[in-house]
């Protein structure tokens, strides 16, 4: 126990020294708010990290803010050092460590040491009874976006087979797969969706193999949930299939074949949070939202989207924007025949039950194990 105290006093004295060094500067001029963004992969990956980097770019354009970024930071002791380094060397007071795996144990390890620094993490993991108050969670419900993707896919497919390249069979991914198929079935209940899991968040070779395998089986609209959808988009378009995007706008990769895409709208979310801090307020510890709340947006519809598809897409989106829309609703069975929802039963977007999803709905060809 004694050395813990030593550590603290050391930290306190280091912090005090740092503070005295900074004092004159702070007193003379209003220093900008320094905001740090940390990405697990490259920030131009056309995917998860690019979506966050686009949000960071929007923050960069704000007055009185300085943005620092670091990419390719693994979910190890590395990210702890990066956070502390941003605080110690750059004076960052608001951090956005964006990868899911940064939270436990890394943010939880560092945050208690810096009670005046705010850590904002992109996932719904924070809970008031377990975690420090200077940590916050924000998260978007993007399944609805895959549902809208599915509607354009349902109109575009002629083989009635659509495909999904997925990283891991975890709840978030399963909800996206199920939403994609259910969207397509709004158009034609005969449509099936073949899913292939690659087992890794970022593994270009297997993503290309999976995409080719889907095309070989006759899938003519393909989407995905991996960190960087670039390989899937380019491979699928190269094989003549239509594509629906995910995470960010991938239309530059396949301008003719791109139908639409489910994108994060971090620019709005981040500028909102930073503005709150600039105004002297406190960001809520737990914020989440979907399409209707501006957390998620859709890519502009591509040239291959028919008028009928456009009409149904817009009508459904308008319905979703009203709030209270349910994608997972009865009568619904999983692809092993078990009842998921009875007639009349519906799961709202933010229903906690959806966060432990472990099934693929009827019409999805594939297995979670």
Partner 1 sequence: MPRLEAVILPLAALIAGLAVFSLFLIGLGKSPLTFFALVYKAGFGTGFSWQNTLSRVAPLLFAGLCVALPARLGLVVIGGEGAIALGGLAAAVTGVWCGALPGALGLMLMASAAFCVGGAWIGTVGFLRIRRGVNETIASLLMSYIAIALMNHLVEGAFRDPASLNKPSTAPLPAALRVGDMPIGIEVHWGLGIGVLCCVLCWVLLDRTTIGFAARVAGDNIRAAQVQALPVGRLITGFTALGGAMAGLAGYFEVTAIHGAANASLVAGYGFTGILVAFLARHNPLAIIPVAILLAGFQASSGLIQRRMDLPDATILVMQGIVFVTLLLSETLYGRLRLFRPDRWEQRA
The binding site for partner 1 (CB under 8 A) comprises 2-3, 6-7, 10, 14, 68-78, 80-82, 84-86, 88-90, 100-101, 104-105, 123, 168-172, 199-200, 355-356, 369
Residue 369's contacts (CB-CB under 8 Å, 6 or more residues apart) are: 169
Query: Rounded distance, CA 98 to CA 137, Å?
Result: 10
Q: Which two tokens stand for residue 72?
A: 């390719």
Distance of closest approach, residue 38 Cβ to partner 1, in angstroms: 9
Distance of closest approach, residue 185 Cβ to partner 1, in angstroms: 26
Cβ nearer to partner 1, comparing 100 with 286: 100
Task: Give the CA count within 13 Å in the CB-facing half-sphere of 135.
Answer: 27
Distance of closest approach, residue 143 Cβ to partner 1, in angstroms: 13
Cβ nearer to partner 1, comparing 69 with 293: 69
Q: Which two tokens stand for residue 231?
A: 């390989």
| Contacts of 265-268 spanning 24+ positions with Cβ under 8 A | 265/140, 265/294, 265/295, 265/296, 265/297, 266/51, 266/52, 266/54, 266/55, 266/58, 267/54, 267/55, 267/57, 267/58, 268/58, 268/294, 268/295
Distance of closest approach, residue 109 Cβ to partner 1, in angstroms: 9
Cβ nearer to partner 1, comparing 171 with 303: 171
Q: Backbone phi, then psi, for 296, in 5-degree steps?
A: -130, 145
Q: What is the DSSP letter of 355?
A: G
Distance of closest approach, residue 262 Cβ to partner 1, in angstroms: 17
Distance of closest approach, residue 164 Cβ to partner 1, in angstroms: 18
Distance of closest approach, residue 294 Cβ to partner 1, in angstroms: 23
Query: Rounded distance, CA 131 to CA 108, Å?
Result: 7
Q: Which two tokens stand for residue 175?
A: 């909800």
């Amino acid at each position: 126990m004694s050395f813990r105290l030593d550590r603290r006093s050391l930290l306190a004295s280091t912090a005090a020294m740092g503070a005295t060094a900074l004092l004159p500067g702070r007193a003379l001029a209003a220093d900008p708010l320094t905001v740090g963004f940390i990405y697990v992969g490259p920030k131009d990956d056309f995917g998860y990290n690019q979506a966050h980097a686009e949000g960071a770019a929007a923050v960069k354009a704000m007055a009185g803010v300085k943005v620092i970024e670091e990419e390719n930071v693994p979910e190890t002791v590395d990210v702890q050092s990066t956070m502390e380094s941003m605080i110690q060397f750059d004076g960052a007071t608001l951090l956005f460590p964006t990868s899911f795996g940064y939270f436990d144990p890394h943010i939880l390890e560092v945050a208690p040491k810096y009670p005046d620094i705010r850590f904002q993490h992109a996932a719904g993991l924070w809970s008031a009874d377990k975690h420090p108050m200077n940590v916050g969670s924000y998260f978007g419900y993007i399944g609805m976006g895959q549902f809208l993707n599915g509607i354009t896919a349902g109109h575009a497919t002629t083989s009635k087979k659509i495909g999904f390249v997925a990283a891991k069979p975890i709840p978030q991914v399963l909800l996206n797969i199920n939403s994609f198929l259910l969207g397509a079935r709004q158009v034609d209940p005969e449509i099936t969706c073949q899913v292939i899991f690659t087992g890794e968040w970022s593994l270009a070779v297997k993503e290309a193999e999976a995409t080719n395998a889907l095309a070989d089986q006759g899938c003519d609209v393909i989407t995905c949930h991996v960190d960087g959808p670039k390989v899937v988009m380019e491979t699928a378009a190269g094989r003549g299939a239509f594509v629906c995007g995910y995470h960010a706008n991938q239309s530059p990769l396949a301008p003719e074949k791109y139908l639409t895409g489910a994108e994060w709208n971090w620019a709005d979310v981040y500028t909102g949070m930073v503005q709150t801090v600039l105004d002297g307020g406190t960001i809520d510890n737990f914020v989440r939202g979907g399409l209707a709340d501006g957390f998620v947006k859709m890519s502009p519809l591509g040239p291959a989207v028919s008028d009928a598809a456009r009409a149904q897409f817009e009508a459904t989106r308008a319905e979703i924007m009203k709030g209270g829309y349910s994608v997972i609703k009865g009568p619904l069975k999983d692809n092993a025949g078990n009842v998921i929802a009875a007639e009349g039963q519906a799961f709202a977007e933010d229903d906690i039950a959806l966060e432990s999803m472990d099934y693929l709905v009827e019409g999805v060809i594939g297995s979670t194990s």
